[in-house]
Amino acid sequence: MKISKIETQKKNKKRSTIYINGQYAFGLATEILLKFDLHEGDEITDDLIQNVLLEQERQKIRERAFRLLNYRKRSIQEMKNRLLTIGFDSRLVDEVVAGFVRDQLLDDVTFAQAFVNDYTSLRPKGNIFISRELAKKGIPRKVIEATVRTRDESLIARDFVRDKLSHLKIDDIKDRQKAIRRLLARGFTPGVVYDVIDNNEKR
């Protein structure tokens, strides 16, 4: 088989149309064309065509992964699941994600730390919430436990009571129960909740 013609596409100058033996074969990104050093008149085998098309599919997956990361940070498992949901081949997804991990574009430790920072300073939540949500995102248990240990949950809960529940009178039984429910609903550990409420009540 021979590449009979390579034609730059009119609607997308970054892509070319490849003709083999005088017939349309496939479209190809110019980047892939250059990577494989393909030219008109070159002989091409089925194996080479397969490799070229696989590389093009990898590039599509990489591009989609970058777009997803531009939207927000993601855990390794989140990224895999999202790409698989889109319909990409699982083996190629694994290859691309592994490359992102090697390049530190995906890092579960960094992701977990950023997640904790967000739910500490911006939207305060408790350790139960943090652990549950990170587990849903596929973060390894050891990473979750190490990340949670960096938090002073009692301080976060006290600050939340001071900043968001100051209108409640903790020594009033109804307000006390409201405060407890609010803290528990935000995923604070029950022991921490009752300690904070009891100490606040004594003031």
Domain of 118: which CATH number? 1.10.10.10
Residue of 93 and 44 predicted with greater confidence: 93
Q: Mean pLDDT for the chain?
A: 92
User: Which one-letter amino acid corresponds to residue 170?
Assistant: I
Task: Identify the bridge partners of residue 125 per DSSP, sorted by sequence position.
Answer: none
Those residues with Cβ within 8 angstroms of residue 139's Cβ, 6 or more apart along the chain or in another chain: 75, 77, 108, 111, 112
CA–CA gap between residue 143 and residue 121 (Å, rounded): 20
Look at residue 144 and give its three-state secondary structure.
Answer: helix
DSSP state of 17: E
| 54 part of a folded domain | no
How confident is the model over 98-116, as pLDDT tens digits?
999 999 999 999 999 999 9
C-beta of residue 186 within 8 angstroms of C-beta of residue 126: yes
Q: Are residues 158 and 200 in the same domain?
A: yes
Beta strands in the chain (DSSP E): 3-8, 15-20, 23-29
Overall domain count for the chain = 4
How confident is the model over 39-84, as pLDDT tens digits?
888 888 999 999 999 999 999 999 999 999 999 999 999 999 999 9
| 138 part of a folded domain | yes
C-beta of residue 116 within 8 angstroms of C-beta of residue 146: no
How confident is the model over 5-44, as pLDDT tens digits?
998 888 888 889 999 998 999 889 888 988 999 888 888 8
| 173 part of a folded domain | yes
Q: Are residues 146 and 168 in the same domain?
A: no
Q: Is the dihedral of CA 35, 37, 38, 39 positive or negative?
A: positive
Domain that holds residue 117: 107-151
| 51 part of a folded domain | no
Q: List the one residue out of 87, 37, 97, 34 whose CA is nearest residue 62.
A: 97
Task: Identify the bridge partners of residue 29 per DSSP, sorted by sequence position.
Answer: 15
CA–CA gap between residue 198 and residue 196 (Å, rounded): 6
Cα torsion 85, 116, 140, 137 to 10°: value is -20
Q: pTM of whole model > 0.85?
A: no
pLDDT more than 70, % of the chain: 99
CA–CA gap between residue 159 and residue 163 (Å, rounded): 6
